[in-house]
Amino acid sequence: MSSFETSVTGHLRKLVSQPAAQVDYWLPLGDERVYLNDYLGKPISLTFSGDINCIACGRRTNKSFAQGHCYPCFTGKAACDMCILKPELCHYDAGTCREPQWGENFCFQPHIIYLANTTGAKIGITRKTQLPTRWIDQGAVAALPIFEVSTRHISGQIEVVLAEFIADKSRWQQLLKAVPEPVDLLALRDQAMEWSASAVAEIRAREGDDSVIELSVQPAQFEFPVVEYPVKIKSFNFDKVPGVEGKLQGIKGQYLLLDTGVINIRKFGGYRVQFDG
């Protein structure tokens, strides 16, 4: 067992990040935050106590759903509904939103449709207020907003059209093995505008000209704090093995890259964990 100087215990939340020459990362544990960049190249340990508390309501739960929810919240919260993953399936207008007030606050606000280079080009959507956090969470080395739209539903409709031409998912194992080859996002944006022109025209005719705004900006660039990428990917799971220990070789997206394996911190929201480093 390695000798550690720092020990912090608390319930996990997703990694907190901030753009910098290399992205800065903090590990939230209850009210404490551990600045992870200081531990690059050093041994760390994460130990799950067996306690899980729902990140929405706080109740104790034996099993976690949708990255940290108890089952009642998973089945009752609008944030856990399928339309969050697939906004084109929004059913607010049908009067069946699980939490109408939450839906109005979350979904009826400006959203960005963007291109990113994660494991190659991908299309994605996010609330405008979530930039650039969303891109960092996905491990994008470059990202480019192409449309600003008035609602989440509209963003989903356009994404579905563009997903016929551009991937809408990253290959997570490839993400953790290397820096992707460069992608000309500006050229791809011009193509995306052409591919989606008909759909955008229909939406504007229905929702108004301001419902979809074409953006003309330069790509954002990100460098992640990675000393060495793993050759093979072994994924840790607190539900199977409560203790994780190894040398921290990098941080990318929501993953910690150790010389012994990788772990997706966001997956274990609400788990009570002790960090030693």
Segment 37-57, tens digit of pLDDT: 999 999 999 999 999 999 999
- The runs of H, that is alpha helices, within the chain are 71-76, 82-85, 100-107, 133-137, 152-162, 172-175, 185-195, 197-207
Q: What are the residues whose beta carbons fall under 8 Å from the beta carbon of 263, sequence distance 6 or more? A: 46, 235, 236, 244, 255, 256
Domain boundaries along the sequence of the chain: 7-68+224-276, 109-221
Environment class of residue 4 by beta-carbon count within 10 Å: exposed (0-12), middle (13-18) or buried (19+)?
middle
DSSP string, 216-269: --PPEE----BS---SS--B--TTT-SEEEEEEEEEETTEEEETTEEEEGGGGT
In the 8-state DSSP scheme, what is residue 116? E
- Strands of 19-120, DSSP E: 24-29, 32-35, 43-52, 111-117
Question: Is the Cβ–Cβ distance between 137 and 14 less than 8 Å?
Answer: yes
pTM of the shown model = 0.95
**Which structure tokens are listed for 257?**
């890259």
The span from the CA of 220 to the CA of 76, in Å, is 37
pLDDT of residue 3: 74
The span from the CA of 179 to the CA of 185, in Å, is 16
pLDDT of residue 134: 98
pLDDT of residue 112: 98
Beta bridge partners of 12: 29
Run of H or E including 10? strand 7-11
Write out the chain's pLDDT in tens, 277 residues.
Answer: 457 899 999 999 999 999 999 999 999 999 999 999 999 999 999 999 999 999 999 999 999 999 999 999 999 999 999 999 999 999 999 999 999 999 999 999 999 999 999 999 999 999 999 999 999 999 999 999 999 999 999 999 999 999 999 999 999 999 999 999 999 999 999 999 999 999 999 999 999 999 999 999 999 999 999 999 999 999 999 999 999 999 999 999 999 999 999 999 999 999 999 999 9
**Which structure tokens are listed for 4?**
């550690």
**Please, what is the end-to-end C-alpha distance for the chain in angstroms?**
12
**Which structure tokens are listed for 125?**
């959507």
The span from the CA of 107 to the CA of 115, in Å, is 20
Length of the chain equals 277
Amino acid at position 276, single letter: D
pLDDT of residue 1: 43
What are the angstrom distances between the C-alpha of 164 and each of 46, 73, 140, 161, 196? 41, 33, 21, 6, 10
